[in-house]
Structure 1
Amino acid sequence: MAIKGLHHIHLAVQDLSGGIAFAQDFGLHIVDTIGPRTYLRGLGRHPYLVVLEQGTHSAFTGLSFEVESAADLDNAIMRHGAGAIRHLGGPGGGVAVDLRDPNGFTISLVHGVAERTPDPLPPSLLLNQGYDKPRIGNTQEKSPLGPPPVIRLGHVGIYVQDWQASDAWYRDVLGLIPSDLIHVGDENIKVGGFYRLNRGDEFVDHHVVGMFGLPGKQGLHHLSLEVPNSEAQFMAHRWLTQRQRNEVWGVGRHPLGSHVFDVWKDPNGFRYETFSDTDLLNATAPAGLHAIQHMEMDLWSDRDVQNYFA
């Protein structure tokens, strides 16, 4: 199955207006409202990244991956028992099939959604570092104070109840490959992992799915939206603080994947993350293996890791 990347995430929210207002503060833009669903986009090619739907309670209701061709949809039906091909009702049209992972999550494969023309991004930073100082005679480009310039939905973190079954499903059905695996005690007892796309020689993000098997937890841990650089994240952090949004973790750098991150919680309890500067790997990179007792959440701080999962 030729997966190109994440396309969008679908969330049911009890407080729809609050969820929309937060998403806008987080750099997302309303595309359309169709029935109970509001479609929100970033600056990149996808016509929407997040779908918020009014619900009686807040819940993670679906994750959609983009595939290369309609043949991938047929393959998912024949080989993996996906549902019948259905038409997507959102901006850009397209079709999809639905799968169920071992946790009961709806995982959709989408194809044929019309792309939009990406918006321009802010100018890249030119950094003077160590002995290499290319910015001579010019001042640094200043990032505006405001919502982050969100480009795309890069990855999600999910809680799973049966980690072994989930590990096998995401590898066998979606074709993902592990970048790093986390064990507790015996190396054979895995409790977490980060999985990337298998695009052969093409270099891809360190992970598209992070999976954690923690007792009593199931569902979405966070959704992560790419922004151009850490400068944009620090400016957005200041903006979100001024907007009195609920901070989960300040701007930091993850050891696994190396990306800079910043996590906030919306009024419905969903964690939204910005990320930048992630590692890029191709299919030949071996998986790392790490003991959970030696894990750090943030190379730049000593904050209690429990804050990240609270």
Structure 2
Amino acid sequence: MTDAATLPETAAPIVKAKDVAYIRFSAPDLDAMETFVSDFGLVVAHRDDDVLLSRGLEPMPFLHVVHRGPAKFIGFAFEVDSEADLAALAASVPGCSPVHDIAGAEGRLGGGKRVHFVEPISGFVLEAVHGQQAEPLAPRRGRHTYNHAGVDDRIGVEQDVVGNRYPIKKDPGPSEVYRLGHVVAAVPPGAHQAFMTFLADTFGMLVSDSARMIIPPGAEEHFPPPLVELIKATGSDVMFQFMRMDRGAAETDHHSILVLPLMDGTPEAQFSHAAFEVFSMDDVFRGHMHFREREAEGAPYALAWGVGRHVYGSQIYDYWHDPYGHVHEHMCDGDRVDASYGPNTIDMTDPGQMGFNGGSQWGPTVEESGIDHLNGPQCDPKFANQPDEVRASLLSRDLSEVQHIVDAI
């Protein structure tokens, strides 16, 4: 096993991505997904019989795409700095499309150009976009001003930016999503490390925190045998990595991509979740209460994890399964860092570094709602009740049934 904190360093990347841009799904019932994105706090930017495009408040034309089709996560997109970056990807990545104008409803909403390809390790369709434009949307609510102990920033003003102090409401309504924060993939062991290397080589991603299973010689008997065998089989002790964009001296999110090892035996890579930033802790809790009420009314949602605060990245979080089991996270107050940060090593064998609450500073225990719920849609408590064809399509990376969608990207 390597003693390095990350996977071996590679040559200069093809491009240095700027951010994550959007995620892409297909689903049999666009009405159910339109209801979900509205409950989640996204704004529907376009809807027709074939596609649903939703956005946040930031000046991006869309963050969330759902095509009519089998229940499936298709992939996600990176934003890059220039058309020259798109050309570099087209010239260097096997199977990459030529640079082309963004067409259809997506192009009408925001213009721009893009490339796309099927990434062979994960089977996800990865896209890169440049030149999209949109006006920001005004929030319906004001931002919170908090009184901290000994420092009162709000004096003589009631804390009610939600507008539901009177009448007091059981359901405060959905959050307002500002932007897409990060995307997380769960990839079979060994392949997950190759996928991390691909992201670094192709999009210039840097490692913020690298989790390693550092098992001292002779101590294997103190760890679960499947975990020990997994580590030996991969040839590396890197279990997962929080990866961020390389923006030099400019700040960026602590992580825009997290790659996890898929340890439940599912043979193909899965979408773990995507995190969407809201304005404040109150927005996270507001979303939690809204989803609880909607679930109680019979909506096909389920809590995956939350509310809590992470250790790595520091976000206050709340995770929910959508009607097809894909996990969407509300988060706020994440760490912002520049290229000088890290990489740091997380020793997963040290309880003082990973903790007993799934890497949370505070929040639910793993037993109450844990990180094992983030391996993919198969972790959704509703998964067993889905029709056979839905369960099969959710877990399969076979793109044949959505090839027409991929071809039109």
Amino acid corresponding to residue 238 of structure 1 in structure 2: M
Q: CA deviation at 1:11?
A: 0.5
The answer to whether structure 1 residue 22 and structure 2 residue 36 are counterparts is yes
Counterpart selection for 1:148 from 170, 175, 197: 175
Matched residues in 1 for 2:240 and 2:42: separation?
Answer: 30
Match status 1:41 vs 2:103:
no
Does structure 2 conserve the Cα–Cα contact (< 8 Å) formed by 1:259 and 1:275? yes
Q: Does residue 1:159 correspond to 2:186, yes or no?
A: yes
Structure 2 residue identity aligned to 1:270: H
Pair 126,19 (structure 1): closer, same or farther in 2 beyond 3 Å: same
2:66 maps to 1:52: yes
Mapping for residues 1-310 of structure 1, pairs under 5 Å: 1-34=15-48, 36-56=50-70, 58-81=71-94, 82-88=96-102, 89=104, 90=106, 91-101=109-119, 102-120=121-139, 122-144=141-163, 145-161=172-188, 162-186=191-215, 188-215=236-263, 216-217=265-266, 218-244=269-295, 245-293=301-349, 294=351, 295=354, 296-304=358-366, 305-306=370-371, 308-309=373-374, 310=379
* CA offsets 1:71-113 (integer angstroms, 9 cap, x no match): 1111112233322123322122222111333212111001122
Cα distance in 2 for residues equivalent to 1:100 and 1:186: 36
> Is the Cα contact below 8 Å between 2:141 and 2:161 reproduced in 1?
no
Distance 1:34 1:64 in 2: 22
Bigger radius of gyration = 2
Worse-superposed segment, 70-79 or 135-144? 135-144
Aligned-pair CA distance for 1:139? 2.0
For the residues of structure 2 that align with 1:237 and 1:17, how far apart are their CA atoms? 22
| CA deviation vs aligned residue, 1:143-192 (integer Å, no higher than 9, x gap) | 25211110111101111121221111111101010111111234951111
Distance 1:150 1:180 in 2: 26
Residues 41, 306 of structure 1: alpha-carbon distance in 2 compared, 3 angstrom cutoff: closer
2: CA distance, partners of 1:153 / 1:60: 16
Q: For each residue in 1:220-258, what CA deviation from the matched residue of structure 2 results, as whole angstroms up to 9, or x when unmatched?
A: 100111100111111121111111132112211011000
Deviates most, 291-300 or 167-176 = 291-300
Q: For residue 242 of structure 1, what is the amino acid of its counterpart?
A: E
1:35-54 Cα offsets, whole Å, 9 max, x none, are 51111111111111100111
Residues 308 and 364, structure 2, Cα contact 8 Å, conserved in 1: no
Report the AA paired with residue 297 of structure 1. Answer: G
Question: Following the alignment from structure 2 to structure 1, what is the Cα–Cα distance between the partners of residues 200 and 365?
Answer: 33
Asked if the contact 1:92–1:115 (Cα under 8 Å) also holds between the matched residues in 2, the reply is yes
CA distance in 1, matches of 2:373, 2:308: 11
**Structure 1 unaligned blocks of 5 or more:** none
User: Does the 8 A contact of 1:15 with 1:267 survive in 2?
Assistant: no
Kindly indicate whether the alpha-carbon contact (under 8 Å) linking 2:143 and 2:161 is maintained by their aligned counterparts in 1: no
Deviates more, 1:270-279 or 1:187-196: 187-196
Residue 299 of structure 1 aligns to a residue in which SS? strand
Cα distance change of structure 1 residues 171 and 186 upon mapping to structure 2, 3 Å threshold: farther
* CA RMSD between the two structures: 1.8
- 1:94–1:113 Cα contact (<8 Å) kept: yes
Amino acid of the structure 1 residue aligned with 2:329: E
Structure (1/2) with the larger strand percentage? 1
Give the TM-score normalised by the residue count of structure 1. 0.93
Which segments of 5 or more consecutive residues in structure 2 lack a partner in the other structure? 1-14, 164-171, 217-235, 296-300, 380-409
Residues 205-214 or 289-298, more deviating: 289-298
Q: Distance in 2 between matches of 1:135 and 1:119?
A: 23
Q: Take 2:246 and 2:192, find their aligned partners in 1: how far apart are those partners?
A: 20
Check the 8 A contact 1:33/1:39 in 2, yes or no.
yes
